[in-house]
């Protein structure tokens, strides 16, 4: 479950040590590969887009900041035409589209959370689509939020009817990728939240490997992309990109050749519009 405002961390470096990964993959490791991809930059941002990094409505500056990501997710409520930043965000989305970036909009799929009706969710998809979005992030999408496979598939199918991608956020990957019918395809994404580092704490490595191996298997089977999200404790330091925690999370994404990575911080109400940008690592 993604909670509140997640601050952005832009990783501007392609870490030179990638050759270590390319030349040290063991044959007994289920994640081994002769080709290791550098993860693309995921940016989940829940503040008002026109205020990111304190740009105070300067849309040119906001677009410049968001353009440092490959895939950007905008937050709940912005799709509504009555939202105070709706028009500005539409301009930002359209500009990002012109730059070849992917923009997604947030909708909560959970029954024990917002419990939106099918019609309410379809209406929000319509509103996001009208803004020019490329996909929908479905949060709280697992069985632990009382979401049935039928509810998942109804909304996945609705998104696909608009040629929209979907990103599914569920704690258990089996909840959205196992069994039949399963409608996710090669244009869709599964989000591994709390990946290796959560709220500044190292996660259990055995549990991490089981889940990562499972996601790799699903990726190979269905062509679904994988995105990882790791979180520092509040407030994230500007030097987080140089820490061992960041390195573990980044390399833990790269060794599986998962497609997207973001490091950010847990919900923070005091600094909802700050974007932390890490300098190039050399």
**Phi, psi dihedral angles at 131 (to 5 degrees):** -85, -10
Predicted pLDDT of residue 63: 97
CA distance 7 to 10: 10
Quote the Cα angle for 18-21-24, to 5°. 145
Cβ pair 232, 195 in contact under 8 A: no
> Residue 20: what pLDDT?
42
Of 23-27, 101-105, 208-212, which range is least confident?
Answer: 23-27
Q: Tell me, what's the pLDDT at 58?
A: 97
Q: Is 173 or 3 the better-scoring residue by pLDDT?
A: 173
The whole-angstrom separation of Cα 235 and Cα 232 is 8
End-to-end CA distance of the chain: 35
**In the predicted structure, residue 29 carries a pLDDT above the cut 50:** no
Domains and CATH numbers, the chain: 8-278 (3.20.20.80)
Residues 6+ apart with CB under 8 A from 129: 162, 164
Nearest to 72 by CA among 80, 58, 62, 82: 62
Q: Are strands 201-202 and 197-198 parallel, antiparallel or unpaired?
A: antiparallel
pTM for this entry:
0.87
Q: Per-residue pLDDT tens for 60-119?
A: 999 999 999 999 999 999 999 999 999 999 999 999 999 999 999 999 999 999 999 999
């Amino acid at each position: 479950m993604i909670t509140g405002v997640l601050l952005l961390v832009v990783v501007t470096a392609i870490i030179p040590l990638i050759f270590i990964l390319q030349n040290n993959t063991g044959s007994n490791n289920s994640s081994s590969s002769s080709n290791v991809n550098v993860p693309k930059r995921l940016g989940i941002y829940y503040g008002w887009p026109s205020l990111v990094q304190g740009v105070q409505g300067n849309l040119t500056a906001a677009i410049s900041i968001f353009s440092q990501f490959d895939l950007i997710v905008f937050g709940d409520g912005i799709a509504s035409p009555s939202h105070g930043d709706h028009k500005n965000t539409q301009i930002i989305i359209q500009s990002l589209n012109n730059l070849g970036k992917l923009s997604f909009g947030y909708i909560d799929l959970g029954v024990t959370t917002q419990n939106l009706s099918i019609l309410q969710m379809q209406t929000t998809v319509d509103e996001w689509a009208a803004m020019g979005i490329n996909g929908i992030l479905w949060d709280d999408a697992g069985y632990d939020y009382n979401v049935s496979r039928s509810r998942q598939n109804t909304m996945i199918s609705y998104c696909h009817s608009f040629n929209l991608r979907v990103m599914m956020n569920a704690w258990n990957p089996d909840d959205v990728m196992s069994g039949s019918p399963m409608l996710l395809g090669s244009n869709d994404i599964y989000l591994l939240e709390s990946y290796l580092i959560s709220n500044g704490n190292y996660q259990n490595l055995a549990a991490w490997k089981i889940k990562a191996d499972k996601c790799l298997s699903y990726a190979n089977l269905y062509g679904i992309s994988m995105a990882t999200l790791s979180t520092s404790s509040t407030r994230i330091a500007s030097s987080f990109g140089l820490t061992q925690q960041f390195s573990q999370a980044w390399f833990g994404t790269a060794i599986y050749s998962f497609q997207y990575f973001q490091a950010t911080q847990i919900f923070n109400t005091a600094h909802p519009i700050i974007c932390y940008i890490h300098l190039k690592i050399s």
